[in-house]
Amino acid sequence: MPSNPLLHFITKVINIEDIKVLNYDFITDDEIVIEIQNQSKVGQCPRCGKTTNKTHQNHWYIVRDIPMSDYQVFLKVNRRQLKCTECQKVFSEKLSFVKSRRTYTKRLANKVIKEVLETDVENAARRNRMSSSEIETILKELESELLKEKPNQIKKLGIDEITQLKGGKNYAAVLVDLETRRPIALLEKRNKAVIAEYLSSLGSEILNQIEEVSIDLWIPYKSLIQEMLPNAQVVADRFHVMKQINQELDARRKQEKRAALKIKNRQEREKKLTGLTHSKYPLLKKKECLSVQEQAQIDLLKKVAPDLGEMYRNKEAIRDIFESPITSDEALDKFLEWTQGAYKLFPKSCRTISRWIDEILAYFDRRTTQGIVEGINQKIKLIKCRAYGLTNFNSFRRRVLLNWYFFC
């Protein structure tokens, strides 16, 4: 039996709360088994809640832990079976560092998954001296835990879409709890039936608690929410309103450029093209974020393409409305005024605004946006770029879920 100071030292080094090292053994050149004991003597009966320290049976088993320098580390641990003195139920004690029925510690799982997300399975296997299939097992087990996890309360829900795998034309739907800022589901399709199925799986108790749902400007979502979430106010996401305005502005810029290329007079043509070139990003930017050079570009643009200049002004004006601390009644007046002035240049956006006016105004009462969803979407896009070789939705979803688990 090794001396106590040495065991005390190893206890410090392995650094697991409430654990004492009893012994250790080098079983091969690079494998060490450390025998540990849980210091907490009592457990709580899952049936009646009474605490007990009566051991029914010792149950030793081995779990893999994070490697120590060049050694693979296995922990030999006694997960005692306790017997409740009140109701006689026999149960296994809880160990903080390992989930029940797992053959690896929580911290090993965390380390492995982070490494997989940062690099890939092969790399994580090498670093932890494990096989790829052992790593896959860890990933699958955590994924199934995450998929089983259902939120127990949602007040503000966001629904958005994301383009799926590279080159795909399909959209996946992402559902986010806007208060906790956590994605709650990634669904393979964004159609009404798929979302309805997921929502029903949450149960009516949760659905009835939802007070508002922020959506992009997609009519099927709106009718779905009205059918399934009786207490929810639909809020049109302001970023999606702005997105549509920006799209209409950009379409006009392209159109002006095509027209300019057809101008016969060379001098005139070049003058117009100089004004239009490099105008895409300045046009989409907020006026307060324009650099001096970009501002000059906008000023020039106003001269060669006055309509585009006017559209830029309109775009900034509607953004101002969204950012002003006004009531929904005041906002209604402002939108009416805006649409009257902008109808000729933004016919599509004006039609959208009038179709969604109630939901847009709801934003002014609640100030809910999907800003967070946009952020998550950006992150999913990054994952997609890195998720090299992921050709099916399930492995894509697994990556996304694991990322959320760690980094959101």
Chain contacts with Zn ion (rule: CB under 5 A) = 45, 47-48, 84, 86-87, 89
User: Is the distance from CB of 348 to CB of 244 less than 8 angstroms?
Assistant: yes
Question: Whole-number minimum distance, CB 87 to Zn ion, in Å?
Answer: 3
Question: Whole-number minimum distance, CB 162 to Zn ion, in Å?
Answer: 48
Nearer to Zn ion, 89 or 189 (CB): 89
β-bridge partners, 76: 35, 62
Question: Whole-number minimum distance, CB 40 to Zn ion, in Å?
Answer: 18
Q: What is the dihedral of CA 348, 349, 351, 354, to 10 degrees?
A: 180
Nearer to Zn ion, 41 or 166 (CB): 41
Q: Mind spelling out the 3-state secondary structure of 52-88?
A: ECCEEECCEEEEEEEEECCEEEEEEEECCEEECCCCC
E-strand spans in 106-218? Answer: 156-163, 171-177, 182-187, 212-215
Write the DSSP symbol of residue 103.
Answer: S
Nearer to Zn ion, 90 or 336 (CB): 90
Question: Whole-number minimum distance, CB 60 to Zn ion, in Å?
Answer: 24
Question: Whole-number minimum distance, CB 88 to Zn ion, in Å?
Answer: 7
Question: Whole-number minimum distance, CB 56 to Zn ion, in Å?
Answer: 12
Q: What is the sign, positive or negative, of the torsion defined by CA atoms of 254, 257, 259, 261?
A: negative
Nearer to Zn ion, 23 or 92 (CB): 92
Question: Whole-number minimum distance, CB 361 to Zn ion, in Å?
Answer: 56
Q: Which residue has the tokens 């390992």?
A: 98
User: Is the distance from CB of 174 to CB of 182 less than 8 angstroms?
Assistant: no
Question: Whole-number minimum distance, CB 54 to Zn ion, in Å?
Answer: 11
User: Is the distance from CB of 305 to CB of 275 less than 8 angstroms?
Assistant: yes
Nearer to Zn ion, 81 or 244 (CB): 81
Q: Are strands 212-215 and 182-187 parallel, antiparallel or unpaired?
A: unpaired
Nearer to Zn ion, 84 or 342 (CB): 84
Nearer to Zn ion, 8 or 47 (CB): 47
Write the DSSP symbol of residue 165.
Answer: S
Buried b (16+ CB within 10 A) or exposed e, 315-353: beebbebbeeeeebeebbebbeebbeebeebbeebbebb
- Distances in whole angstroms, Cα of residue 320 to Cα of each of 192, 289, 350, 370, 378: 33, 14, 16, 18, 25
Question: Whole-number minimum distance, CB 405 to Zn ion, in Å?
Answer: 33
β-bridge partners, 235: 214
Nearer to Zn ion, 52 or 377 (CB): 52
Q: What is the distance between the alpha carbons of residues 306 and 300, in angstroms, rounded to a whole number?
A: 10
Nearer to Zn ion, 47 or 303 (CB): 47
Q: Are strands 51-52 and 55-57 parallel, antiparallel or unpaired?
A: unpaired
